[in-house]
Amino acid sequence: MRLLLAEDDPMIGASVQRGLRQEGYSVDWLRDGREIAPALATTIYDLLLLDLGLPGIGGLQALAQLRESGAQLPVLILTARDAVADRILGLDTGADDYLVKPFDLDELAARVRALLRRQTGRVDPVIRLGTLAFDPATRSASLAGQPVALSARELALLEALLEQPGKPLSRSQLEERIYGWGEEVESNAVEVHIHSLRRKLGTQTIKNLRGVGYFIPKAD
């Protein structure tokens, strides 16, 4: 899952980016509200983490513009504005959730998981497909009830494929989901991770539609 963080405080931004990366997310961080629209126009994100007190364009204005454009991207406001009126305004402007600073990173991660789960229409916090299961909260996978040891990149790739079973994702789409800005990507990185996942989960778990991409078949 790839997240966009809009936060101008360097300490908070670094802490949130580091904490969510440890949770297995790819997190791009920008510090100016004017950079939000261009970032969303060039990259597909699963969630926007939005500070209200941004320079350039304030968070509320950026949020209003996002919703006016018809974008349904989930938005979680992160702000020090704790008045009830501020919370109401943020939610009524189009935010999906509102978290007041200072906050616990574990709570932030839980709220992110809840919003992403809601976005995909899932009720079960665990993503299941046949005998394969992935738990975003614990960053763990199991096959037929048995735990499978996967690296952070393998887990991120598995999550991306499980979110849309039956839909092929190209190598570039998978790279965008598991790597953020500034992260070096080897030319065959996705193929290496796919090979490792097939070895650990079974050779038929992940299919390749030649010239299109990789996918996990829907359960029968």
Same domain, 98 and 16: yes
Q: In whole angstroms, how far apart are CA 131 and each of 166, 201, 202, 219?
A: 16, 10, 12, 9
Domain end position, chosen among 120, 139, 163 = 120
Domain end position, chosen among 68, 97, 120 = 120
Same domain, 101 and 144: no
Same domain, 114 and 133: no
Bigger pLDDT: 177 or 81?
81
Domain with 68 in it: 2-120
CATH number of the CATH domain containing 72: 3.40.50.2300
Q: At what angle do helices 171-178 and 189-201 cross, to 10 degrees?
A: 90
pLDDT confidence of residue 49: 98
- For residue 108, being part of any structural domain is answered with yes
Whether 163 shows a pLDDT value over 90: the answer reads no
76-94 confidence digits (pLDDT tens): 999 999 999 999 999 999 9
- For residue 220, being part of any structural domain is answered with no
Whether 190 shows a pLDDT value over 70: the answer reads yes
Domain end position, chosen among 120, 136, 164 = 120
130-157 confidence digits (pLDDT tens): 899 999 888 899 999 999 999 988 998 9
